[in-house]
């Protein structure tokens, strides 16, 4: 009933991802590991032989490195259970009853997409609980039929590829269920350290963010999705894009950000978008305002200026 | 360092070991497995610091004692083979609140319901306190082998964490041998406490607490073997009134409030039982 797909690239921690599945009180799942062409010194055969005694594990190796998106997509194609869950190879499941709780929800509720809670553990043992998140794949369960029927798929980007998948999914208006329990632990995150200090990562991430949102919108429109949903997504995303622009325009090449941002801008039908959407988006993305340290006040570039820049830009 | 002592012959011990290996504070954990025959844990040696002690000792309590004697860490945690930690944060949650305490009592969950535990598994103990008061295990197959009762009588500082730490697939079957073993453990604990001259008031409190405990179970299920059990309890409860003199009114009230409100003991039934057992 449940497929667990784990993309893998040079992972030293896959053993605890698998341990967190093996200790479940319900282990009736199929685990599919997709090795995105890990380097030769990473030999997983010993670990896999060990865990095969306790779990049903399938291992696929890609010929060349293709990114976590493609790896997960190959995982989807190599499996067939009605529901799919993704786990990263440096994360783990939460409690001992996660699978059994998920199974109860799947059986009882007729939904295409379940959003469960996940907890982010930082390198210094701080915990952040994430409820109602719509960006990450963590703690989410997907109905295969819905993905297939609506061509929901991963692309070949390496960042925000999860955001692309989730936004494309949401634009097709799935029936969404909520699972209150903590399903997933985003572990021991050196990332949370690097994310704030390493702005090269952030900068690149923002380009891929803009690209993947514009691609999700484009495909959704081609698929005949509700243009109102597409316009709302695009409008909301202009807000963080604006803050990214303010943060980087004086020290980085922001031409790609503007190019992809303008694609988003031109796909929005402003008549379909109510005024409060922009207001709500500013409220939701308030953390960006704070991280840019009010630069936007001094930059002389208002949100309206930014939108005009996107509107004037042509490929 | 925390020594996690795993005892029992359950085939599902690997689940226990997996649940230890995913703990967020794994680098502070050392595992001691005590069993009657040698097993191959080489697969686990890559991910866990683990020692196995093979012994001819047959009782659960005896094995726990062997495991405890081998422990070197600041804290100890006992598990039954086949049980697991409830989630990846279990030991972290208990460990972070144990400064200034001698034990953190963790909640136990099973497949049907969640419930609190005061007895042994699920609790994180400070090893130096145990050693100082020479708290030890009865060589029996009971729930807690007198250990936690002795801890209570030695007046260890207790922190009730309220977090669910531990998961057992099934609760222990509460049949005659369960209660019989518990009574054996209780007898053992009181014998040791009296020989070591533990505080009379603490002994009285524990005796009273146990009496209420048994009263609840007897009240819930009136089984044929109840009379046998009550006879077995009598010699332990003898001398309760001597100890009771050193109990203060507020201790008496405190213990009865906890037991009666938590377990809904019928006061009238309890009074009758008290008369039968103690007189």
Q: Residue B258: which H helix or E strand, with range?
A: helix B249-263
Q: Which residues of A touch B18 (CB under 8 A)?
A: 19-20, 22-23, 54
ipTM: 0.88
Query: How far apart are alpha carbons A72 and B71 in whole angstroms?
Result: 45
A125–B contact, CB cutoff 8 A: yes
CB A181 within 8 A of CB A116: yes
Residues 218-237 of A with CB under 8 A from B: none
Size of interface A-B (CB pairs under 8 A): 52
- Coil, strand or helix at B75: strand
pLDDT, position B116: 65
Neighbours of A113 (CB within 10 A): 20
Residue A160, φ and ψ in degrees, nearest 5: 60, 15
pLDDT, position A221: 97
pLDDT digits (tens, 9 = 90+) for B175-218: 888 888 888 898 899 889 888 888 877 887 787 778 777 777 77
Chain-chain contact of A16 with B19 (C-beta, under 8 angstroms): no
Q: Which of A12, A23, A44, A120 to mutate to test the interface with B (most CBs of B within 10 A)?
A: A23
Query: How far apart are alpha carbons B188 and B261 in whole angstroms?
Result: 28
* Sequence-ordered alpha helix ranges (H) in B8-59: 13-21, 42-45
Distance of alpha carbon B81 from its chain centroid, rounded?
15
pLDDT, position B243: 72
Pairing of strands A127-130, A113-122: antiparallel
pLDDT digits (tens, 9 = 90+) for A47-69: 999 999 999 999 999 999 999 99
pLDDT digits (tens, 9 = 90+) for A6-55: 999 999 999 999 999 999 999 999 999 999 999 999 999 999 999 999 99
Rounded to a whole number of angstroms, the distance between the first and last alpha carbons of chain B is: 48
- Coil, strand or helix at A92: strand
pLDDT digits (tens, 9 = 90+) for B72-125: 999 999 999 999 999 999 999 999 999 999 999 998 888 777 676 668 999 999
pLDDT, position A295: 67
* Lowest-pLDDT choice from A257-261, B40-44, B246-250: B246-250
- Coil, strand or helix at B143: coil
pLDDT of B161 > 90? The answer is: no
* Lowest-pLDDT choice from A160-174, B193-207, B239-253: B239-253
User: Mean pLDDT across chain B, nearest whole number?
Assistant: 85
Q: State the smallest CA–CA distance between residue B256 and chain A in angstroms.
A: 35
Torsion sign across C-alpha atoms B168, B171, B176, B180: positive
Chain-chain contact of A23 with B111 (C-beta, under 8 angstroms): no
C-alpha distances in angstroms, A259 versus A110, A310, B166? 40, 8, 53
Chain-chain contact of A19 with B111 (C-beta, under 8 angstroms): no
A160–B contact, CB cutoff 8 A: no
pLDDT of B263 > 90? The answer is: no
Residues 6+ apart with CB under 8 A from B254: none
Q: Which of B22, B29, B50, B96 to mutate to test the interface with A (most CBs of A within 10 A)?
A: B22
The mean pLDDT of B206-235, rounded to a whole number, is 75
Query: How far apart are alpha carbons B133 and B193 in whole angstroms?
Result: 10
Report, in angstroms and rounded to the nearest whole number, the Rg of chain A calculated over CA atoms: 20
Give pTM, 2 decimals. Answer: 0.90
């Amino acid at each position: 009933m449940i497929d667990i797909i784990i993309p893998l690239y040079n992972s030293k921690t896959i053993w605890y991802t698998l341990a967190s599945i093996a200790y479940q009180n319900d282990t009736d799942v199929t685990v599919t590991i997709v090795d995105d062409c890990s380097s030769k010194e990473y030999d997983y055969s010993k670990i896999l032989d060990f865990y095969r005694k306790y779990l049903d594990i399938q291992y696929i190796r890609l010929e060349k490195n293709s990114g976590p998106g493609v790896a997960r997509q190959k995982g989807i194609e190599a499996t067939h259970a009605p529901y799919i869950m993704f786990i990263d190879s440096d994360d783990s499941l939460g409690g001992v009853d996660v699978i059994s709780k998920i199974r109860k929800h799947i059986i009882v509720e007729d939904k295409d997409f379940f959003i469960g809670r996940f907890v982010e553990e930082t390198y210094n043992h701080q915990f952040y609980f994430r409820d109602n998140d719509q960006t990450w794949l963590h703690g989410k369960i997907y109905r295969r039929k819905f993905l297939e029927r609506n061509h929901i798929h991963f692309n070949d980007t390496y960042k925000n590829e999860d955001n692309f998948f989730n936004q494309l999914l949401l634009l097709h208006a799935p029936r969404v269920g909520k699972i209150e329990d903590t399903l997933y632990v985003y572990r021991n995150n050196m990332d949370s350290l690097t994310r704030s200090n390493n702005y090269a990562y952030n900068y690149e991430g923002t380009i891929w963010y803009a690209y993947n949102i514009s691609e999700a919108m484009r495909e959704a429109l081609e698929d005949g999705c509700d243009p109102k949903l597409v316009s709302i997504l695009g409008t909301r995303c202009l807000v963080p894009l604006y803050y990214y622009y303010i943060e980087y325009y004086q020290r980085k090449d922001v031409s790609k950000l503007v190019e992809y941002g303008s694609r988003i801008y031109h796909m929005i039908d402003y008549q379909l978008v109510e005024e409060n959407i922009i207001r709500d988006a500013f409220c939701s993305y308030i953390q960006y305002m704070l991280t840019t340290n009010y630069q936007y006040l001094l930059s002389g570039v208002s949100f309206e200026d930014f939108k005009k820049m996107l509107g004037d830009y042509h490929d | 360092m925390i020594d996690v002592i795993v005892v029992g012959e359950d085939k599902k011990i690997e689940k226990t070991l997996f649940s230890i290996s995913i703990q967020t504070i794994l680098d502070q954990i050392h595992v001691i497995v005590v069993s009657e025959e040698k097993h191959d844990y080489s697969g686990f040696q890559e991910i866990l610091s683990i020692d196995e002690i093979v012994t001819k000792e047959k009782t659960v309590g005896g094995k726990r004692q062997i495991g405890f004697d081998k422990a070197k860490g600041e804290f100890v945690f006992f598990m039954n083979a086949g049980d697991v930690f409830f989630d990846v944060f279990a030991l972290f949650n208990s460990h972070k609140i144990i400064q200034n305490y001698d034990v953190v009592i963790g909640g136990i969950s099973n497949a049907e319901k969640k419930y609190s535990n005061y007895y042994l598994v699920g609790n994180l103990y400070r090893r130096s306190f145990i050693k100082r008061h020479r708290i030890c295990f009865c060589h029996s197959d009971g729930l807690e082998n007198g250990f936690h009762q002795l801890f209570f009588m030695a007046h260890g500082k207790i922190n009730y964490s309220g977090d669910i730490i531990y998961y057992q697939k099934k609760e222990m079957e509460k049949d005659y041998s369960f209660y019989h073993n518990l009574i054996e453990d209780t007898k053992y604990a009181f014998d040791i406490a009296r020989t070591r001259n533990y505080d009379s008031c603490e002994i009285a409190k524990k005796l009273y607490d146990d009496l209420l405990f048994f009263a609840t179970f007897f009240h819930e299920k009136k089984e044929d073997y109840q009379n046998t059990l009550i006879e077995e309890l009598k010699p332990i409860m003898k001398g309760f009134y001597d100890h009771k003199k050193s109990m203060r009114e507020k201790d008496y009230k405190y213990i009865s409030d906890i037991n009666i409100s938590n377990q809904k003991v019928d006061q009238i039934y309890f009074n009758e039982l008290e008369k039968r057992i103690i007189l």
